[in-house]
């Protein structure tokens, strides 16, 4: 409910801004203005409507087609609004500069266009140009989002890594978001690409699903085909808790996937021992009592190992992970902002975005940009990734 309230508030604010800066300046009695109001109202209602109908009806065949329309529209709005804000900010700066210039020169006459109809024509032309640009950007982002994620190879040097673990390879999948627009066929392509890499293990760092087990059980089935030397390991993300994380954990374990809910596994590789721990999502305590994220508990009573890796969905867990003595944390959640211009703004609310980071000079943190997408099928400027991580000796 908290997520729904926050989202609907922001979504409503975006539409209020569109009404104020896009529709209100149009000709007061033009036929297109009336159409624009109807379209804006439909846009306001359809996205929250899809959220609630999927929860209440739980009938994918009925809601998925509407979800496609809603999420494409959502992506378009999330590009259009920032472009309008940028335009308005630039216009405000230009107006202020001209006002200062006139005052400096003691000119009282306004050199700007004074003909109301001409101003209206130019304003509408600019608005149509921004709408068209938003459409092109939405289409380009859609093409990138629906393309199967490419393999991104990363080498991470770990201090004191024994020779026996040098070259150990982990394939990380994160934020696939199986749901109304990402189905089992997309996941099957990911699985096939992972299997081609022949990794030592596969780590799924949360937000695998956006739906209940009854809605997505068939779509998640390709995970049983994942092949690696030591198996597939999974930790919960915040979206699992929106859709009954306990039931999903039980189902995944029956599929042969190791679910690490504040627990660990010891991987014996050659003559070395690797600790692979998993913490529940950073926000898990809000949804399931006893599921509070605890990287320290995740390695409790573990025997001495040669390296320690933590799987934790949100990068915010990195501070607790570093304090608990891990050498490396693998995370996702942020999607790299997923598409322009949000990929530029994401750093305002997240301590770490995509890529490799050093935490307090000791622990490495790798944040995946995600293997799928959430909501809008849009990946403009932020491609999805299947991450092949190779451990090397520092």
Q: How do residues 178-217 score in pLDDT, each as one tens digit? A: 999 999 999 999 999 999 999 999 999 999 999 999 999 9
Task: Collapse the DSSP code of 205 into the 3-class scheme (helix H, G, I; strand E, B; otherwise coil) and give the result.
Answer: strand
Confidence of residue 106 (pLDDT cuts 50, 70, 90): low
Q: Write out pLDDT tens, residues 250-264.
A: 999 999 999 999 999
Same domain? For 280 and 379 the reply is yes
346/239 same-domain check: yes
pLDDT at 30 over 90: no
At 107, is the pLDDT very low, low, confident or very high (cuts 50, 70, 90)?
Answer: low
Query: Is the domain of 135 the same as that of 229?
Result: no
Those residues whose C-beta lies under 8 Å from the C-beta of residue 117, and which sit 6 or more positions away, are none
Looking at the structure, do residues 351 and 270 belong to the same domain, yes or no? Answer: yes
The confidence score (pLDDT) of residue 29 equals 66
Do 182 and 34 lie in one domain? The reply is: no
Point out the domain boundary residue: 121, 144, 167: 144
CA distances from 227 to 200, 249, 346, 371 (A): 9, 20, 34, 18
d(CA 239, CA 206): 8
Q: How far apart are CA 228 and CA 361, in angstroms?
A: 32
**Count of structural domains, the chain:** 2
Q: Which of residues 99, 126, 144 is at a domain's end?
A: 144
- Among 91, 114, 144, the domain-final residue is 144
Q: What is the reported pLDDT for 53?
A: 85
Check which CATH number belongs to the domain holding 322 and give it: 3.60.21.10
Q: Give CA–CA dist 162/273, Å, rounded.
A: 9
Nearest alpha-carbon partner for 375 in 223, 242, 221: 242
Parent domain of 366 = 151-393
382 has pLDDT over 60: yes
102/198 same-domain check: no
Question: Is there a single domain that holds both residue 125 and residue 221?
Answer: no
Residue range 125-132: mean pLDDT, rounded: 90
Domain shared by 54 and 202, yes or no: no
pLDDT at 236: 98
Are 134 and 36 in a shared domain? yes
Dihedral pair phi/psi, residue 151, rounded to 5°: -85, 125
Residues 116 and 198 in one domain: no
What percent of the chain lies above the pLDDT cut of 70? 96
Q: What is the pLDDT of residue 174?
A: 98
**Both 96 and 193 in a single domain?**
no
* Residue 238 sits in the same domain as residue 169: yes
């Amino acid at each position: 409910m908290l997520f729904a309230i926050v989202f609907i508030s922001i979504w409503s604010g975006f539409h209020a801004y569109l009404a104020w800066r896009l529709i209100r300046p149009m000709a007061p009695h033009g036929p297109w203005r009336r159409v624009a109001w109807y379209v804006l109202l439909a846009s306001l209602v359809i996205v929250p409507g899809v959220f609630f109908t999927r929860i209440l009806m739980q009938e994918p065949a009925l809601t998925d087609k509407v979800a496609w329309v809603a999420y494409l529209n959502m992506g378009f709005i999330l590009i259009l609004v920032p472009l309008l804000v940028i335009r308005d900010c630039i216009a405000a700066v230009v107006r202020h500069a001209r006002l200062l210039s006139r005052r400096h020169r003691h000119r009282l006459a306004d050199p700007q266009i004074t003909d109301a109809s001409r101003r209206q024509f130019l304003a509408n032309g600019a608005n149509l140009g921004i709408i068209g640009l938003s459409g092109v950007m939405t289409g380009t982002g859609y093409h990138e989002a629906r393309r199967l994620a490419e393999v991104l190879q990363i080498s991470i040097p770990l201090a004191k890594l024994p020779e026996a673990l040098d070259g150990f390879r982990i394939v990380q999948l994160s934020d696939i978001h199986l749901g109304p627009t990402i189905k089992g066929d997309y996941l099957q392509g990911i699985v096939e690409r992972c299997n081609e890499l022949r990794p030592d293990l596969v780590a799924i760092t949360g937000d695998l699903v956006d739906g209940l087990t009854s809605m997505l059980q068939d779509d998640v089935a390709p995970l049983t085909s994942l092949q690696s030397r030591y198996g597939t390991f999974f930790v919960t993300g915040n979206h699992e808790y929106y859709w009954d994380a306990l039931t999903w954990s039980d189902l995944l374990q029956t599929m042969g996937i190791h679910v690490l809910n504040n627990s660990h596994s010891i991987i014996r590789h050659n003559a070395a021992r690797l600790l692979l721990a998993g913490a529940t999502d950073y926000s898990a305590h809000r949804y399931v009592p006893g599921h509070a994220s605890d990287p320290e508990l995740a390695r409790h009573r573990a025997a001495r190992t040669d390296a320690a890796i933590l799987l934790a969905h949100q990068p915010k867990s990195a501070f607790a992970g570093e304090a608990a003595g891990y050498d490396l944390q693998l995370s996702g959640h942020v999607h790299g902002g997923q598409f322009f211009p949000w990929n530029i703004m994401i750093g305002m609310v997240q301590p770490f975005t995509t890529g490799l980071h050093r935490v307090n000079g000791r622990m490495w943190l790798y944040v995946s940009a995600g293997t799928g997408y959430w909501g809008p099928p849009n990946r403009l400027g932020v491609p999805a990734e299947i991450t092949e991580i190779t451990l090397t000796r520092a």
